[in-house]
Amino acid sequence: METAYTLQESPLTLRKRTYHFLNSTESAGAFSRAFNAFIVVLIISNILAMILESVKDIREWIPGYFAWFEYFSVAIFSLEYSLRVWTSVEDPRYPRPLLGRLRFALTPLALVDLSAVLPFYLPFIHADLRGLRMFRLVRIMRVMRVAKLGRYSESLQMLLRVVRSRWEQLLSSVLILLILAVVSASLMFYAENEAQPKAFSSIPAAMWWAVATLTTIGYGDVYPVTVIGKFMAAIIAVLGIGMFALPTGILGSGFMEELDKSKKPRKCPHCGKDL
C-alpha cells in the first residue's frame, strides 16, 4: 500500500522545491535554514552599513564599499522577492497564476520585501526627483529593510499576532487619547492665548504642548504661565499618565495569552498525541 501511494504522488517540481526552500518547510532541509540565517545576517549588516555610512569619516575612508555592498544586497533581496512571487501559487491560498500572485504581492510581508528593494530602483524612474525631494526619501526608506526581520523572527511575529488580536481595543484607546489631546489643546489655547499669543497661537499649535504633556515628555519649550493654565496642565498631566497606560496593559495581556498558547503542547489532529 505504501508503494502504491508513493507512485501516485506527484514529483516535486522546481517551483515547489523552491517554495519549500524559501519557506523552510520540513522537506526543505538544513540548507534552507542556512539561507534564512544568511538573509538575517544580511539584513542586520544593511542596517549597520546605513548607520556607518552616515559617519563622514567612515564614509570617506571606504567610499566604494557601501555602494558595492548596496548592489550586492539589492541583488539578493530582489532575487528573493522574485522567487517568492513566482512560487506563491504553490500556497493553497494563492492558487491562480495571475490573481494569486497579485494577492500575494499585496500581503504585508510581501510589501515589506518590496520596500526593501524599491528605494534602489526609484531613482532610475524618469521623473523630476528634485522637485519632490525623492532622493532623500529613497535613502530614508532603506531603513525599512529592518522590517524584513519580521519574517524570520518569532518575537516579531508574536508582536504582530498580539496587535492583530487586540486591534479593536488598541484602536479604542488611541481614539480616546486623540480626543483627550484635542480637548487639552483647546482648553489650553483659550487659557493661554492672551498671555502667550506666539506659543499658543491656535489650537493646532497647542497640540504640540498637549502631546508632549500627555506623553509625560515635557520638553519645556512651551508651558503655561497663567494660574488657570497651570491648574489645567496639572490635571492633564495626571490624566496622561493613566491614559497612556491603557495600550501598555492591552499589549501586556495579549503577550501573556500568546506565551500561554506557545507553552501548550500541540496535539496531532489524527491520533491526539503531543507533537
DSSP-derived 3-state class of residue 267: strand
CA dihedral over 153, 36, 22, 275, signed as positive or negative: negative
User: Is the CB of residue 111 less than 8 Å from the CB of residue 117?
Assistant: no
**Whether residue 182 is found in the same domain as residue 131:** no
What is the per-residue pLDDT for 150? Answer: 72
**Whether residue 171 is found in the same domain as residue 143:** no
**Whether residue 12 is found in the same domain as residue 142:** yes
> Per the domain annotation, does 113 fall within a domain?
yes
**Whether residue 147 is found in the same domain as residue 172:** no
Report the run of H or E that residue 101 belongs to, with start and end: helix 99-105
**Whether residue 256 is found in the same domain as residue 183:** yes
Domain harbouring 93, CATH code: 1.20.120.350
Q: How many residues does the chain have?
A: 275
Question: DSSP string covering 118-177, please?
Answer: HHHHGGGS-S-HHHHTHHHHHHHGGGGGGGGGGGT-HHHHHHHHHHHHTHHHHHHHHHHH
**Whether residue 123 is found in the same domain as residue 100:** yes
> Per the domain annotation, does 115 fall within a domain?
yes
Structural domain including 190 reads 167-263
**Whether residue 132 is found in the same domain as residue 6:** yes
Domain stop point among 152, 187, 213? 152
**Whether residue 135 is found in the same domain as residue 16:** yes
What is the per-residue pLDDT for 102? Answer: 92
Long-range contacts of 217-225 (CB under 8 A, 24+ apart): 224/188, 224/191, 224/192, 225/192, 225/195, 225/196
**Whether residue 9 is found in the same domain as residue 121:** yes
The grid coordinates listed for 127 are 521623473
DSSP-derived 3-state class of residue 274: strand
CA distances in angstroms from 255 to 14, 148, 153, 157, 163, listed in the order given: 39, 21, 15, 11, 9
pTM metric for this prediction: 0.64
The grid coordinates listed for 11 are 514529483
The grid coordinates listed for 100 are 494569486
Higher pLDDT, residue 227 or 170: 227
Number of domains making up the chain:
2
Rounded average pLDDT over 161-186: 86
Q: Letter for the amino acid at 27?
A: S
**Whether residue 176 is found in the same domain as residue 73:** no
Confidence of residue 189 (pLDDT cuts 50, 70, 90): very high
The grid coordinates listed for 185 are 489643546
What is the per-residue pLDDT for 84? Answer: 93
CA distances in angstroms from 265 to 88, 128, 157, 261, listed in the order given: 30, 57, 19, 8
Rounded average pLDDT over 159-170: 82
> Per the domain annotation, does 160 fall within a domain?
no
What is the per-residue pLDDT for 59? Answer: 82
CA distance 242 to 233: 15
Rounded average pLDDT over 161-189: 87
Domain harbouring 171, CATH code: 1.10.287.70
CA distance 162 to 135: 35
pLDDT tens per residue across span 91-100: 888 888 889 8
CA dihedral over 202, 204, 205, 208, signed as positive or negative: positive
**Whether residue 110 is found in the same domain as residue 18:** yes
**Whether residue 24 is found in the same domain as residue 115:** yes
Report the run of H or E that residue 165 belongs to, with start and end: helix 154-165
> Per the domain annotation, does 32 fall within a domain?
yes
